[in-house]
Amino acid sequence: MTRRLRVVRATAALAAAAMMIGGAAVIAPTTAAWVDQTSFRADTSSLTTFVPDPDTSHDAIAVSPGLTYSVTDPVQSPNDANVCVLSMTVTNTTDEPLAWWVEFDVDRPPLWGLDPTVPGAFGTSRIRTISFDAATGVWRIGGAVGDIDILAPGATVVGSASGGIGYCSLTSGPQLPDDPALYEVEGSKFDSPFEYCITIDVATDYPWAIVWSTRVDLLDFYTEAELAGLTSYSVSQVVATPVPGESYTFDIVGAASTRMIAGPWALNGGAGARVIERAVCAKSPSLPDGS
């Protein structure tokens, strides 16, 4: 029977506390954690149906008088928070040459506050930064000087795959928020003859890359009698940190290859879903990983 795991926010400090050995992390609960047999029961959560805000960081919040602007939504690659917006189209609707500009709010998704003025954060195509207000997130761009900074009367310039107009973020991606209302995490037993493991299933319908986290209590899947004496733990494709004072409870975040999820991504669990088998396993300390 599949049980729903309580979704919690996990901090970077928790992730850093897990010990990495080779390609897997081995969790070593403290002595105090094993003495305290207080159980932690995960409560039920459900995926909140999310209606995306139509305003994104590539939708214009203001344009210069006489200009029309449009853009096609970009597509983020799986496991990548970077975004390329190269399909901007601008039109001068006046009968005079137009030095045009467009303003965006970079605090909106999918940029999530990424500063366009940080060296190396962005690559641009046929545009330039005119100004950026870090306090409000308002970024004003214009056409590249000597290229499309001045639009002729009635002129339209269209970004395309062969001649993009816009930008690509080039870092590891913006600082994604961890918002448990945007995703659901479920857990189920993973059958193994020598270990007591669970599989984690993460699902979302959110259109942009987000990170996820959860708290796992093995007592939601196995009895204390089954887990007694199993003092060794291993994890797969996640980073796990023991919860102080709890014998079988861990805070979980995705590893590098599983940190993010997005509704459009067709991952191993299908569109908007990621399945991580043997995410957490309890076993005898005499057994090797994967036994």
Could you state, in order of their start, the residue ranges of all structural domains in the chain?
3-47+183-283, 62-169
Question: What is the predicted pLDDT for the residue at 173?
Answer: 66
What whole-number percentage of the chain has pLDDT above 90? 62
The phi and psi torsions of 172 (rounded to 5 degrees) equal -75, 5
* pLDDT range class, residue 8, cuts 50, 70, 90: very low
Please write the tens of the pLDDT for every residue from 23-81. 333 333 322 222 222 222 233 333 333 344 558 999 999 999 999 999 988 888 888 88
Cα angle vertex 14, ends 28, 247, to 5°? 40
Mean pLDDT value across residues 108-121: 92
pTM of the model: 0.74
Residue ranges of E strands in 56-183: 62-63, 67-70, 84-85, 89-92, 98-99, 102-105, 122-125, 127-133, 138-143, 150-151, 156-158, 166-169
Please write the tens of the pLDDT for every residue from 253-272. 999 999 999 999 988 877 88
Residue 186 in contact with residue 200, Cβ under 8 Å?
Answer: yes
Mean pLDDT rounded to a whole number for the chain: 80
Please write the tens of the pLDDT for every residue from 141-166. 999 999 999 999 999 999 976 779 99
Question: What is the predicted pLDDT for the residue at 13?
Answer: 31
Please write the tens of the pLDDT for every residue from 172-187. 667 777 999 999 999 9
